Amino acid sequence: MGRKILFITTDQMRFDALGANGGKIARTPVVDGLAKSGINYTRCHAQNVVCMPARSTMITGQYVSTHGVWMNGVPLPVDAPSVAKLLKDKKGYRTALIGKAHFEPFIDRQLQFTENRLGAMNQFGPHRGFDHMELAAHGARGPLHYSRWLMNNHPEVADNFYPVLNGDLVQNSYGEGDTGAVQVKHNKTPRGLYHTDWVGERTIAYLDSLDADADWFVWMSFPDPHHPWDPPEEEIHRVNWRDIPVPAGYPGSREKIEEILSGKPRHWREWWAGEGATCFEAPPDWVPASLTQDQLREIDALTHVKNELIDEAVGRVMARIKERGWDNDTDVLFTTDHGEFQCDFGLLFKGPHHVTSLMQLPMIWRPAPSANVPSTSISAPVGQVDFAPTFCRIAGIDPADWMEGRSLPLSAAEAGTRETVFTEWDCDFNNKTISLRTIYRDGWIITAYRKSSMYDGSEGELYDLKNDPLQWRNLWNDPSAAGMKRDLLDNLRTKIPKQKNRLKCVSSV
């Protein structure tokens, strides 16, 4: 009997959401405990800051330019490599994915994608190397398993969730909370029927189906704290938005926001001012400049509520693993796919903006206690491209040739050769294109803008995180930073993966 792997992901969670990473509002004792007894990677970055590209990197161990999923709506090819399949084929692991997969688009009226067909046909796999899949998204509508279960057993709650899409399949922007904030709703669905608890309970049910001597790789994937902000109304008392301050990343006034964004490439300010959207990661008719401080605080509070519910669901799953006698031989990894502005710069959601709000991820690995790995905190840069090789290391097999990352380091000494982590973005929205290439190194973030419909290729962003942790001052054109800029650009050029086939976008979601 070998080591088991519980891979826990959330969706759109900030690095500082956890107490272990400095969070002071949401109570996350279970995940904080994993960090205390394991390894907390404080500089883990996403290789792309939206869902489908990031998740495709996790399962393949490849950069976005290699696996080809360059934007949401671009499906990962069915024959793409899968670390789950490798573990199954090489070591006989039982494999499951419970919750949000999102390797394929959600908008799929013809049910051309397997993820959607599985739920619609009440099937559970196999798919992408997983013996078993039970899939969920952010609401009660659609073909996925959670939605079908809810509609079949509790149709009375179907209209309680915020309807993210309208009849034209465009994101809604109205709000139904206390402040009228975008995509907020007081959801009267009982907590036990909410998708966070469903994911936890279905993970427990799958684990209970396994023999005591089984080796398993289970990916437990929560759809929260991703927008819409509609946790169960019975739980929102946990954090009263009226009692919390505006987050530190909020500049404090329209004038200050205007000043900060005017120092960045122009799509930043244009989006904030409502002069032009550059991606479909936020409602296209929503204007960030319209946000009030009360609205920001309400959204922030609801996000903290969601994170507390996730922590409690993780706790229930960990308790069951212990009851089964597996805890001593189970590695637990906790992370997310990308971050969320959550008031930084006066913005919400995500998009073509390579700052720590969106790139920096919570990443915790608690090795199996039987492995006798000392707990520590590692600040060396790592990324999602490293997850698949790490799973191989735990299973005792060599990483596949198609993997482009390397196993997460277990100590500062092992991390010594790591200097950079790379993030890339390409999008095409309403005949506007943007292409970004970024590295983090030694407390600096540099982003080079490739030639696109909006930029001529000479623009960019440069931030000194030590002296400007909120990234309010872009040093790209600052003469005092010219030498650092040249050095980092030279470094960045050596890190850019070669572009392979550009896959077709078939949907916006």
Question: DSSP readout, 369-412?
Answer: GGG-PPPEEE-S-EEGGGHHHHHHHHHT-PPPTT--S-PPPSST
Q: What mean pLDDT do residues 146-172 have?
A: 92
Q: What mean pLDDT do residues 125-153 have?
A: 95
| The pLDDT value given to residue 230 | 98
Distance of CA 181 to the CA centre of its chain: 22
Give the least confident one: 158-172, 299-313, 382-396, 452-466. 158-172
186 token code pair: 């007081």
pLDDT band at 501 (very low <50, low <70, confident <90, very high): low
Res 56 pLDDT > 80: yes
Q: For a pLDDT cut of 90, what percent of the chain falls above it?
A: 92
pLDDT band at 508 (very low <50, low <70, confident <90, very high): low
Give tens-digit pLDDT for 29-45.
Answer: 999 999 999 999 999 99
Whether the ω angle into residue 155 lies within 30 degrees of 0, i.e. cis, is: no
Terminus-to-terminus CA distance in the chain, angstroms? Answer: 41
Give tens-digit pLDDT for 323-363.
Answer: 999 999 999 999 999 999 999 999 999 999 999 999 999 99
| The pLDDT value given to residue 417 | 85
H/E run at residue 361: strand 360-361
DSSP state letter for 479: G
Res 252 pLDDT > 80: yes
Can you give the pTM of this predicted structure? 0.97
- CA–CA separation, 509 and 505 (whole Å): 10
pLDDT band at 504 (very low <50, low <70, confident <90, very high): low
- With CA atoms as reference, report the closest residue to 206 among 324, 112, 113, 332: 324
Give tens-digit pLDDT for 214-238.
Answer: 999 999 999 999 999 999 999 999 9
Distance of CA 216 to the CA centre of its chain: 23
Residue with tokens 């637990």: 332
pLDDT band at 505 (very low <50, low <70, confident <90, very high): low
| The pLDDT value given to residue 96 | 98
Q: Is 319 helix (H, G, I), strand (E, B) or coil?
A: helix
| The pLDDT value given to residue 370 | 97
Residues with Cβ < 8 Å from 440, sequence gap 6 or more? 43, 45, 359, 381, 420, 421, 423
Task: Tell me the H-state helices in 121-194.
Answer: 145-153
| The pLDDT value given to residue 499 | 72
| The pLDDT value given to residue 231 | 98
328 token code pair: 């001593």
236 token code pair: 């929102």
| The pLDDT value given to residue 140 | 86
pLDDT band at 194 (very low <50, low <70, confident <90, very high): very high
Give tens-digit pLDDT for 72-104.
Answer: 999 999 999 999 999 999 999 999 999 999 999
120 token code pair: 């619609």
Residues with Cβ < 8 Å from 417, sequence gap 6 or more? none
Res 381 pLDDT > 90: yes
pLDDT band at 166 (very low <50, low <70, confident <90, very high): confident
Whether the ω angle into residue 399 lies within 30 degrees of 0, i.e. cis, is: no
pLDDT band at 433 (very low <50, low <70, confident <90, very high): very high
Give me the amino acid identity at 285: D
Residues with Cβ < 8 Å from 476, sequence gap 6 or more? 459, 460, 461, 462, 485
Of residues 388 and 158, more confidence is placed in 388
Res 1 pLDDT > 80: no
DSSP state letter for 171: B
Res 500 pLDDT > 90: no
> 383 phi and psi, to 5 degrees?
-155, 175
Q: What mean pLDDT do residues 482-487 have?
A: 98
Residue with tokens 């969730």: 161
pLDDT band at 137 (very low <50, low <70, confident <90, very high): very high
Domain locations in the chain as residue ranges: 4-181+191-254+293-410
pLDDT band at 280 (very low <50, low <70, confident <90, very high): confident
Nearest 10 degrees: Cα torsion 232, 233, 236, 241 = 120
Are the C-beta atoms of residues 435 and 425 closer than 8 Å to each other? yes
- Specify the CATH number for 4-181+191-254+293-410; select among 3.30.470.20, 3.40.720.10, 1.10.3330.10, 3.60.70.12: 3.40.720.10
